[in-house]
Structure 1
Amino acid sequence: MPANSAEPGSLLVVTLVKSGRTKIGYPASLVSDDGVRLTVRAPWAAEGVRDFGFVRFEPGDVFTEHYWRDRWYAVKEVRAADETLKGWYCDITRPAVVRDGAVVVEDLDLDLWVSADGDTVLRLDEDEFAESGLADRDPEAADRAVQALDELELLAKLGKFTALID
């Protein structure tokens, strides 16, 4: 763990920014930080239940979230209140910025879902990404976002996805 990092168990604030605005912010407990990857744990932070059809996020769910300072994604392991693994929700983001007790990530509209058994791998929100205009505003970031989604999808389909977070 870096010398200037918080101790495991410390509370951090995770902030997800989208289109220059805070989408959601919530407290999370630090699990580990090696200077490149930061891992936190937090309960489901939104109000009520969110049913995507392929998975339900609901009160009692616990997210173990992995953020990288050098990668264009975040991987969130999702477990039910009884600790049953639901799967992994991956946000395509700019690399995380970690400072002053906060983790800030910019959501780039692309997502990937990997079911607990690895059999279901879904690319999500590609329409939102296309409509976001990122490809026109910041073509390099748009390319990095698509590459990150492709990388995660390939790892999942090859059965090597969990090696990212082990």
Structure 2
Amino acid sequence: MSGHSAELPGTVRVVLVKAGRTKIRYPARLLSDDGERLTVRAPWAGEGTRDFGFVRFEPGDVFTEHYWRHRWYAVKEVRAADGTLKGWYCDITRPAVLGGGELTVEDLDLDLWRSADGRQVLRLDEDEFAESGLAARDPQAAAQALAALDALELLARRGDFEALIAD
């Protein structure tokens, strides 16, 4: 890490924006900021348990979240309260912006899940992405989003996924 660590404020508020509105806002501990990638850790910020079928996010889960200033995704390592790795949930987003104690990320609907053992790699919410109208409204952003999803899926299937977030 570069000299940014001395400037870490301790906590930031992660603000996830979707379709121009704040979807969720939650406090997280800022673990690192190397000028390109920011890493934060936070408990599951949702209400109660969310069962996706392929994974359950529940109170006590801990998310170590990696955001980039020039990449179109965020990678979130999900662990159960006992430390067991559940897997990685990836949001396709515009590049992250940190300012005023807030880490703001615009969610572009597409997601990817990779199970802890790497056997399950799922592309998610492609229907929501198509319905969002982003391709017509901002074709360049839509192309970046799809390219980001393809790149993450390739890494997840090749087994290179952990290297993406390794220091």
Query: Which of the five TM-score ranges fits, normalised by the shorter chain?
Result: over 0.9
Q: 1:133 to 1:6 in 2, by over 3 A?
A: same
* Structure 2: tracts of 5 or more residues without a match: none
Task: Give yes or no for the alignment of 1:71 onto 2:71.
Answer: yes
Using the size of structure 2 for normalisation, the TM-score is 0.96
Deviation at 1:2, TM superposition (A): 5.0
Alignment of 1:130-145 (within 5 A): 130-145=130-145
Aligned CA RMSD, in angstroms, stands at 1.3
SS of equivalent residue, structure 2 residue 103: strand
Aligned to 1:86: 86
Aligned to 1:102: 102
* Structure 1: tracts of 5 or more residues without a match: none
Give per-residue Cα distances to partners, 1:26-61, cap 9 Å, x unaligned.
000011000000000000001100000000000000
Specify which structure has the higher proportion of helix: 2
Deviation at 1:100, TM superposition (A): 1.5
Task: Give yes or no for the alignment of 1:34 onto 2:34.
Answer: yes
Deviation at 1:6, TM superposition (A): 3.7
Contact 1:18 1:108 (C-alpha < 8 Å) held by counterparts: yes
Paired-residue identity, %: 75
Using the size of structure 1 for normalisation, the TM-score is 0.96
Residue identity opposite 1:72 in structure 2: W
- Distance in 1, matches of 2:54 and 2:32, equals 30
Give per-residue Cα distances to partners, 1:93-152, cap 9 Å, x unaligned.
000001121100000000000000011000000000000000000000000000000000
Contact 1:2 1:33 (C-alpha < 8 Å) held by counterparts: no
Aligned to 1:12: 12
